[in-house]
Structure 1
């Protein structure tokens, strides 16, 4: 066994425990001095010591496990305390895209196989134990790692089916929103939810067929031990890889299809809006960017290419899925999120997580081609839109104003609201929270119109 430095004793009642870390008997998460720690005991502490003695802790980040090391802290009732690398804010499972969910399932299978080789296992199998570090997935819960003895069944098989395989089968059946709704509300998707509602006879026949498929997995699990866990992980991985991820056509999925290629330097085929936003982003003194209503992320990609860490948010799951795939492929500092500060969906089941506006804040916020939809289509007042945007913005708000005589707004036929929407109203609302407001030219509203949009840049 390795020797360790003297410990610093902590008072249990004075610790800033995570309100979401209370279910695992093997450990609890807490913060101290803006650092992240986890107290471990019992089987979880034993498993950590095995990994430490085997010299695997330094290797585990290559397995997509958060970097973790033993700390010098001690708490009564726990065997040891470890420290984790602090990760940026991450979306919840219900805020993922289909490709994000599949990557999480595949990571779980890979980790199961690696840990079984050390006679260890994960006792939980759900996405709540994973976080996205930009587009890189990290497993974070060391209290879930416990020993796996010969002949012992692999604990999380049923949970894996409900939290990963069944949702992905629903997505494969073109029911992604239903799958994520169930994950958000209940934290799982039961087998019955994956069966189309045909006649009662067809439903029952399909249910029994799927139950027989699951029974084969449970028969492997009944053998128990590391070898059975490895066989299960490989079998489940094959099933996950067979699930297709349809990309349904949505109202906004092709919105940016004709945009020119993004890049750190303006290109000859960029329009005036793209040049203005590039100029604004270049003027920012580093920090983080929150792109609200990002679509497929043209401006998010631009911000990341300019060295700004970016959170990209949109309610269109197809758009976020496309952005996630691009971000993953090009290794950009972008965290994709399915959601909106203005139309929040169910963010969790029985777990009490903070709302979006508390979890995702940034130095600079982009709201491009969005405010007019919030005002005319969703009925938000200018003051409310600005107040919400200001609440998540530490320094700079970049908001595009689309005038009421814009080609598209005229198609909506809402003249009764136009007086409350004038650019002067927006400036007045912004002045409540920001000290300086500048204007930049944006694009024309339509090729048949000379109406010019305006980008307002408000700084604190």
Structure 2
């Protein structure tokens, strides 16, 4: 057994498993396993369902590495291109991650295994493909065992999906505001009496709320009672199949919004569109590891970035726009674009235990190229972020960027200012360029028709 002397960079979200811990080294992802964890892994790695799921890309690929203290075994995992969280996913993404979890649990049960938990944090997306990344959450099935992760699945998957499907309420604020998700009692109150007859609500919400109220002091008592009642794997599988039908049957049709029908042709002549496309493609040419497209809309420029970037994060704050983009990208097949529902003015924070369990996007998916087309004026004129602070934030990303300045006399900017006083004296081309000058080298600049919109290709100064 080897002993490493350097400090171990443990992942801030992996501390709950007593039999393993994820750590990072030289840009690679490892998992240390205890003696018990290593025994479970060796049994799991030989299971037919597991081999099939890994081959299909549904479970992350893992390879054994030399053991090092204090671990009995070390695994190296294939690294996902970018880590995202369920409060950054739209309805379709959360639903697909839920279905993956249930389908893996059903396959595991048939092969004598089970999941310890039922959290969306065990799932990541590679493009639009969900992948289960926590091999330590599988264990061999014990006699009389029922799925210990059922409650967690309901709180972090099912209830948030029901809120959107049955009430039209966004799930992200609930998942971000409480990392453990929505309790059964809260789900019951939020869904209301009218929803009680909708598929799955009475069984998975009302009954669970009643059970949890009576057994909150020791939830293990409930599992013990169910196990003693003789819950066979077949009975558990039948219940899980019913739960899968409920999840698969949930639906949400994104309503039209100001941005869901916003095409890239708005406010541009055909000549300007061609000029803008050429500018972006020339600036983005060359190998990029990770690119961000801020305000991705229908994903035209994200697709352009994906021609050279290994991975593109397509960020958009509008829920309808994001949902349409995700559905479209799924139909196009496996790709390099990961669409996230993300508000730049209210971004995902560092939170959870010690502020490190879930981290902000810049820490877990730092870009080497950023595209900010027709988005910065929203942050200034709608969100009120000062121009100097916008420039500071862009510089902090440490990436080359293409940004677009939109003047206040542009129709799009006038719409933002229609119901407010214009107190944004620092939003002029001269002030914008003055803010960029000490922070970036301008590699190229291009004016679009009328001069109200200007493109900049920027490189951060040391």
Contact kept, 8 Å, 1:90 with 1:335, in 2: the verdict is no
After superposing the two structures, state which structure 1 stretch, 426-435 or 380-389, moved more. Answer: 426-435
* Superposition map of 1:296-315 within 5 A: 296-305=298-307, 309-315=311-317
Deviation of the 1:403 alpha carbon:
1.7
Contact kept, 8 Å, 1:94 with 1:348, in 2: the verdict is no
* Superposition map of 1:257-268 within 5 A: none
Corresponding residue for residue 177 of structure 2: 185
- CA 347–166 in structure 1, closer or farther in 2 if over 3 Å, else same: farther
Deviation of the 1:148 alpha carbon:
0.7
Corresponding residue for residue 376 of structure 2: 371
Contact kept, 8 Å, 1:127 with 1:163, in 2: the verdict is yes
* Aligned match for 1:81, one of 71, 74, 90: 74
Distance of 1:316 and 1:348 partners within structure 2: 23
SS at match of 1:75: coil
After superposing the two structures, state which structure 1 stretch, 54-63 or 235-244, moved more. Answer: 54-63
* Superposition map of 1:314-325 within 5 A: 314-325=316-327
Corresponding residue for residue 285 of structure 1: 286
Corresponding residue for residue 263 of structure 1: none
Deviation of the 1:191 alpha carbon:
2.6
Corresponding residue for residue 262 of structure 1: none
Corresponding residue for residue 169 of structure 1: 162
Contact kept, 8 Å, 1:293 with 1:370, in 2: the verdict is yes
Corresponding residue for residue 240 of structure 1: 247
- CA 59–9 in structure 1, closer or farther in 2 if over 3 Å, else same: farther
- CA 349–316 in structure 1, closer or farther in 2 if over 3 Å, else same: farther
SS at match of 1:14: coil
- CA 409–56 in structure 1, closer or farther in 2 if over 3 Å, else same: closer
Corresponding residue for residue 294 of structure 1: 296
* Aligned match for 1:254, one of 261, 273, 298: 261
Corresponding residue for residue 410 of structure 2: 406
Distance of 2:314 and 2:141 partners within structure 1: 40
* Superposition map of 1:121-270 within 5 A: 121-177=114-170, 179-186=171-178, 187-195=180-188, 210-212=205-207, 223-256=230-263
Corresponding residue for residue 31 of structure 1: 24
SS at match of 1:454: strand
After superposing the two structures, state which structure 1 stretch, 19-28 or 207-216, moved more. Answer: 207-216
Corresponding residue for residue 214 of structure 2: none
Corresponding residue for residue 342 of structure 2: 339
Deviation of the 1:293 alpha carbon:
1.7
Distance of 1:9 and 1:276 partners within structure 2: 54
CA displacement, residues 16-68 of structure 1 (integer Å, 9 cap, x when unaligned):
22222111112111122321111122553222111333476653321511111
Contact kept, 8 Å, 1:148 with 1:154, in 2: the verdict is no
- CA 125–347 in structure 1, closer or farther in 2 if over 3 Å, else same: farther
CA displacement, residues 244-270 of structure 1 (integer Å, 9 cap, x when unaligned):
1231222211112877xxxxxxxxx95
Deviation of the 1:195 alpha carbon:
3.9
Distance of 1:329 and 1:205 partners within structure 2: 33
Corresponding residue for residue 97 of structure 2: 104
Contact kept, 8 Å, 2:44 with 2:138, in 1: the verdict is no
Query: Superposition RMSD on alpha carbons, in Å?
Result: 3.2
- CA 305–129 in structure 1, closer or farther in 2 if over 3 Å, else same: same
TM-score by length of 2: 0.84
Deviation of the 1:197 alpha carbon:
6.2
Distance of 1:53 and 1:439 partners within structure 2: 58
Contact kept, 8 Å, 1:196 with 1:203, in 2: the verdict is no
Contact kept, 8 Å, 1:315 with 1:340, in 2: the verdict is yes
Structure 1: segments with no counterpart, 5+ residues: 1-6, 260-268, 445-449
Distance of 2:74 and 2:270 partners within structure 1: 53
Corresponding residue for residue 8 of structure 1: 2
Distance of 1:25 and 1:139 partners within structure 2: 19
Deviation of the 1:132 alpha carbon:
1.3
Q: How many residues align?
A: 434
* Aligned match for 2:428, one of 409, 419, 422: 422
